[in-house]
Amino acid sequence: MFILTFSPLMGCSQNQTKVEINQQAFVFALYVNKGKQEGSTEVTISTPLPNRLTSGQQAGGHGNGAPYAMVTREASTVQDALKLIQRDLTRRFDFSHTRIVVVGRSYAEAGLEDLMDWLQREPTTNLNTYLMVAPGDAKKVAELTPIYEQMPSEVLIRIAEQHNMIPTNLRDCLYAESGNQGYALTYLTAGLKPMVAEQEKLEPWTGVQGTAFFQNHKMRTTLPLKESLTISWAVNEIKTPLYTVSWNENGKASVYLISTKSSRSVRMVSGHPVFTIKLSGSGDVVYKRNHNQYDTPEVKEIIERELNNQVAEDLRKALHASQRVGADVVQLGMLVDWNYPDHWEKVRANWPEYYKNEVEIEVVTDIRIRNFGTILRTKPE
């Protein structure tokens, strides 16, 4: 009993496969691009610098230098590029803290098969690692100015965790691929923006511009922000979106949705699956332009009608885009597998084409206005 109690404490010094923490380089983010040479891959790692991560360090790493390092190498595979980086480092890689992988657009269009294969085989891979797509060079995203954080990787993690757009991680991608389904990744934007904290100096900035649709680990198309919101809503991955609707000549209102949820169902009609996607939610009117129009139940009904119509139309456009490229990013095929397994066995192998040409999808919305932010009033007599 004495040996069993203390043997775990002795393991670190006796097991030669263990690596002391001061001998490790914790990789917080990976940035992957197509290489300059045909068929090559460029990999960039981002690791923190412990000697600069002090409590007094300013956000963004200004002062004594950035609190992180980035190293880039190019080789025929992801693993070969990482091996070249490791050869020049004084510490050994540890990917257990990697939470962000950003791929460049050209690499995403060519396909993520090699990257996914390496991520699955690397023993320290974290399945909760988020994947995102950069509009060009993935390294440009890493140049962002982390105003509120210390490192760019922290900013990207925050973007994913806030659920302003679909936050897809490695587990989601592998799960979708195993079922011959598609998946959607956050599609970033990168550029320069004047920073008030830096005396209006132009600094690198990264944001979200929509989603990128994948099928068989290959990017098929991108979707604008409005339609991307509804796809995120359809898979229950969005929180508190804001919508603005208009009616007549002067009517305009903004609605802040406090709660959102979705449901998906399938039924067989004439031997083919018919899907129904229902988006529901409730929110408050936080802005109304026409002050001469009182906050009456009639106005509430108008806003609800316009809001439901807009959300339904955005979702139809998003689903049409997914069907056009055969990328079932809402993973409706899983519903067929669960409810009609015999039919799924017939169509599973060719699901992308079947989803593209044979599937019918109905859209239903039920979005309600809770209040106008004030007591509901009626017109005076």
Q: Could you tell me which of 297, 320, 317 has the C-alpha nearest to residue 309? A: 317
pLDDT at 253 over 70: yes
**Of residues 180 and 144, more confidently modeled:** 180
Comparing CA positions, the residue from 334, 311, 196 lying closest to residue 264 is 334
pLDDT at 355: 96
Contact 211, 166 (CB under 8 A): yes
Q: What percent of the chain has pLDDT over 90?
A: 61
Residue 64 pLDDT class (50, 70, 90 cuts): low
pTM: 0.85
Long-range contacts from 298-305, C-beta under 8 angstroms, 24+ separation: 300/369, 300/372, 300/376, 302/247, 302/251, 303/245, 303/247, 303/253, 303/255, 303/369, 304/367, 304/368, 304/369
pLDDT of 1: 42
Q: If you average pLDDT over residues 335-360, what whole number do you get?
A: 95
- What is the rounded average pLDDT for all residues in the chain? 85
- pLDDT at residue 230, rounded to an integer: 96
Mean pLDDT of 135-153: 81
Mean pLDDT value of segment 314-323: 97
User: What is the structure's pLDDT at 149?
Assistant: 73
Residue 133 has pLDDT above 70, yes or no: yes
